């Protein structure tokens, strides 16, 4: 694995953040299976090295835009389990007071401008956030997360064109998990994805999205250059989605085999891979890692219990926040 951050604490935080994402998703899936969660949700499990490798290269003031498969980005950018689970369950203490849910979870305090339920819907927002930084002379960088499926949306090409024309500090991070909903990416994407960015003169990199250190190293370099006005950049991160398109997509052998899933889970898992490296490098022992894992599982379990017991928003909130300056839009 590529070696970037030299601080032991940084490595351990990266590991912890990846396990936190996996743990969050395991619980979210369980909430769905036990019919405790309203609606559906889209699991990030398997892609942890992407969100963590990228977000660990960002400052709190840097911005991200996220996707319908957004829990991983939210955790990686610094969100708390408690407010996240509350949001997933539609509770008042959720990040969005229960009004957004899994697909719209946002955490402005950490620069997460929100998940988006329209595939590709946040590409304009991310580019606009970078525009703000340039106009106001701020040095923050925006990372736009989206999947391979979203590369089929025209909006991407419109905003990449503008970002390239105006050298905006934005990094387009394409999480290529091999599937566009229930369809293989090769069936929906002609040619090369990175070449599309290169056509606008945008420097593009394809990288192993299961290698958190490699992702982090590249992102650190690109972020530093974007801050200096050398952006935009494009990254295609090759990764894998362990679950179906959403938690209800269980019988999926018609579009991908169990053997393929097994191969990724057993031999290309980003957490197992990084854990092995940490032990091999003497950064953490098996026991220390197991202790960390147990602590995170415990945190998640407590947050789930908290969220389950937390109150729903009062009905009076239904017409609040329609407009910024009107307390109750229907009063």
Partner 1 sequence: MREITLSQAVNEALAEEMRRDETVFIIGEDVAEAGTPFKILSGLVEEFGTERVVDTPIAEPGFMGLAVGAAMTGTRPVVDLMFGDFIYLIMDQLCNQAAKTHYMSGGKMSAPMVLRTNMGATRRSAAQHSQSLHALVAHIPGLKVAMPSSAYEAKGLLKTAIRDNNPVVIFEDKLMYQDKAPVPEEEFLIPFGEANIKREGSDITLIATSSMVQVCEAAAKILAKEGIEAEVIDPRTIVPLDEDTLIASAKKTSRVIVVDEGHQSYGITGEIAGRINEKAFYHLDAPVLRMGAMDVPIPFSPALEDITVPTPEGVAENARKLMSGEMIHAA
List contacts with partner 1 (CB under 8 A). 63, 65, 94-100, 104, 106, 108, 113-114, 116, 118, 121-133, 135-136, 142, 154-155, 158-159, 161-162, 165, 320-326, 329
In this complex, which beta carbon is closest to partner 1, that of residue 114 or of residue 244? 114
Residue closer to partner 1, measured from CB, 166 or 255: 166
Instruction: State both tokens at 274.
Output: 């990084």
What's the min distance (Å) between Cβ of 327 and partner 1?
Answer: 10
Burial class (CB in 10 A: 0-12, 13-18, 19+), 314: exposed
SS3 of residue 305 by DSSP? helix
Shortest approach of partner 1 to residue 126 CB, angstroms?
6
* Nearer Cβ to partner 1 (32/131): 131
CB of 121 to partner 1, least distance (A): 6
**Residue 150 CA: distances (Å) to CA of 64, 66, 156:** 16, 12, 8
C-beta of residue 77 within 8 angstroms of C-beta of residue 110: yes
d(CA 18, CA 8) in angstroms, rounded, equals 16
- Which residue, 97 or 221, is less far from partner 1 as judged by CB? 97
Nearer to partner 1, 96 or 207 (CB): 96
| Shortest Cβ 306–partner 1 spacing (Å) | 18
**How far, in Å, CA of 5 to CA of 57, rounded?**
10
Q: How far is the CB of 96 from partner 1 (least distance, A)?
A: 4
- Least distance from C-beta 146 to partner 1, angstroms? 13
Closer Cβ to partner 1, 2 or 329, answer by number: 329
3-state secondary structure of 171: strand
The set of long-range contacts for 34-37, using a CB threshold of 8 Å and a minimum separation of 24, is: 36/89, 36/308, 37/88, 37/89
């Amino acid at each position: 694995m590529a070696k970037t951050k030299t601080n032991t604490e940084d490595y351990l935080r990266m590991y912890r953040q990846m396990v936190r994402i996996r743990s969050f998703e395991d619980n979210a899936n369980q909430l769905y299976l036990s019919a405790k969660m309203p609606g559906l949700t889209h699991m990030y499990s398997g892609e942890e090295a992407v969100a963590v490798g990228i977000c660990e290269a960002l400052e709190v003031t840097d911005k991200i835009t996220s996707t319908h498969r957004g829990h991983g980005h939210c955790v990686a950018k610094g969100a708390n389990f408690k407010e996240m689970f509350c949001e997933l369950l539609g509770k008042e203490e959720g990040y969005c007071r229960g009004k957004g849910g899994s697909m719209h979870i946002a955490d402005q305090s950490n620069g997460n401008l929100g998940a988006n339920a329209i595939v590709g819907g946040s590409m304009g927002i991310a580019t606009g956030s970078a525009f703000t930084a340039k106009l106001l002379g701020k040095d923050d960088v925006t990372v736009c997360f989206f999947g391979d499926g979203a590369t089929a949306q025209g909006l991407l090409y419109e905003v990449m064109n503008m970002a390239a024309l105006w050298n905006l500090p934005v990094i387009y991070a394409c999480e290529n998990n091999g599937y566009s909903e229930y369809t293989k990416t090769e069936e929906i994407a002609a040619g090369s994805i990175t070449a599309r960015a290169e056509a606008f003169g945008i420097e593009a990199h394809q990288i192993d999205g299961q290698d958190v250190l490699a992702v982090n190293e590249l992102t650190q370099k690109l972020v530093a250059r974007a801050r200096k006005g050398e952006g935009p950049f494009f990254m295609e991160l090759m990764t894998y989605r362990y679950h179906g398109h959403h938690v209800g997509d269980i019988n999926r052998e018609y579009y991908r085999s169990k053997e393929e899933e097994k191969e990724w889970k057993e031999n290309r898992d980003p957490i197992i891979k990084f854990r092995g490296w940490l032990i091999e490098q003497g950064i953490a022992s098996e026991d220390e890692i197991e202790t960390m894992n147990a602590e995170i599982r415990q945190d998640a379990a407590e947050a789930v219990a908290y969220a389950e017991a937390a109150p729903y928003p009062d009905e009076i909130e239904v017409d609040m926040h329609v407009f910024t300056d009107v307390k109750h839009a229907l009063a």
